[in-house]
Amino acid sequence: MFLEDKDLVSIQEVRNLIRKAKRAQEELAQMSQEQIDTIVKVVAKACYDERERLAKMAAEETGFGRWEDKVLKNALASKGILEEIKDMRTVGILSDDKENKVTEVAVPVGVIAGLIPSTNPTSTVIYKALIALKAGNSIVFSPHPNALKSIEATVEVINRAAKSAGCPDGAVGVIHRVSIQATNELMKHKDTNLILATGGTAMVKAAYSSGTPAIGVGPGNGPAFIERTADVPKAVRQILDSKTFDNGVICASEQSIIVEEDMKATVVEEFKKQGAYFVPTEDAKKLGAFIILPNGAMNPKMVGKSPQVIGKLAGISVPDDARVLIAEETGVGKQHPYSMEKLAPVLGFYTVKDWEEACKLSMKILHHEGVGHTMAIHTKDERIVREFALKKPVSRLLVNTPAALGGVGATTGLFPAFTLGCGAVGGSATSDNVSPRNLFNIRRVAYGTTELSDLRQAENMAVTVQEDCPTSVDEDKLVELLVQRVLSKLDK
């Protein structure tokens, strides 16, 4: 009896997908900006039209979040992205500087490996496909196995639309026989030119250690500081809107709240008024032991679940109308579960003396987990915003906005994205909300503007001016004299 080796079959599938993707990318590279834009427009419309069906598939398959919110994410990933990139120049000549005689030309990176998480599967596929195609690249997706069907369905929508607009076959591919070996083959294959890694810490690390250039996203663990000048009802509403959106699975969402001592009672009262449930001390211990595993990892059973489901799983009582679970926290580290990333409607609550202490605490939280990612602040004091902007180790400091939606560019002017770079401090290749501009290289054509003899003549004149001028002449005067002498020589 013949037994199929699933690992070998999955590796062969990847090789076939990359071969087709490379051929397709070679065709894409020959297309005009107008042809590329037509493909992107048609694909975006098709995905937008299917946003509800795909959202329901993702929610049903993964058990994460709320399908109603996934509809909005699919809309942002399709229509929202299109609006942002439709006029972006990504093909051919980007700029032609006549004065400095430098011309810039866009060069696609080639074949992209797209790693897709189970938390935001359909929206991430739509987003990555659009920005890859916009930059003239092909892309092969490696799905999270728990979201395979919804990812396959999304790729089917993309390919059907792309083909109708003249896109070459194989430009957007997906691994059907998912395995760790298949993903490794995709990342390490000689014809894979770039990895877009969105997923768990282990997967992102594997992408960076693959030997292939990679853009990855580390974990989020953003604190939200409600400063004393904040509009408290508005700040609380925005935090709850953010943390309940798709049951908190967006990594930019708030993970803890920081308030000043003299504001605590007011803030707590407002949170309770708007539907937050402050978990009693003993229940908070049980909940903490459930949401974070002994090894410090997030418990996957709580991801994207409602407060009531989480409460039941943790063995604590939660009111039926509770929107978010909040537990008071005092420390930071693995022994303090509420200081960790929690992709669910669960928040830690810290109290500090003043904004300076809030500043230090937020940095401690971020350096423990989530460094380079995102932080939120609610305030009317621009001086404090500036202080936080200068010191916080994040790539996005969000002011007076829901962090989940602000981070992905839905409620801010940031580029709408589902891959949020964490910068060098977070182990990422970029601090950007990743866009098509991150997916092409720039070839610069530079014309000669001077000769070696001219450079030597200018240097000799500089030496002569320094020798002729008194030591008291300042730099500005020295430069002025040098310029005058150079000009006089050129005139002759």
Residue 88 main-chain phi, psi, to 5 deg: -75, 130
Q: Is 422 tagged catalytic?
A: no
- Which one is catalytic: 47, 167, 251, 422? 251
- How far is residue 346's CA from residue 338's CA, in Å, rounded to a whole number? 8
The residue behind tokens 């410090």 is 296
Q: Are 373 and 420 in contact (CB under 8 A)?
A: yes
Bridge-partner residues for 257, per DSSP?
A: 224, 349
Q: Helices (DSSP H) in 165-259: which residue ranges?
A: 180-188, 201-208, 232-244
Asked if residue 420 lies in contact with residue 429, where contact means CB atoms within 8 angstroms, the answer is no
Tell me the three state secondary structure of residue 457.
Answer: helix
DSSP H helices, 274-354, are: 281-291, 307-314
Of the candidates 63, 137, 88, the residue with the CA atom closest to the CA atom of residue 302: 63
Q: Nearest to residue 228, comparing CAs of 263, 265, 270, 258?
A: 263
Is there a contact between 435 and 408 (Cβ–Cβ < 8 Å)?
no
The DSSP result for 242-286, as a single string, is HHHGGGG-STTS--EEEEEGGGHHHHHHHHHHTTEEE--HHHHHH
Q: CB-based contacts of 378: which residues, under 8 Å, 6+ apart? A: 224, 225, 226, 227, 230, 231, 234, 235, 238, 239, 399, 400
Q: Which DSSP category does 141 fall into?
A: E
The rounded distance, in Å, linking the Cα atoms of 170 and 36 is: 15
Residues with catalytic annotation? 251
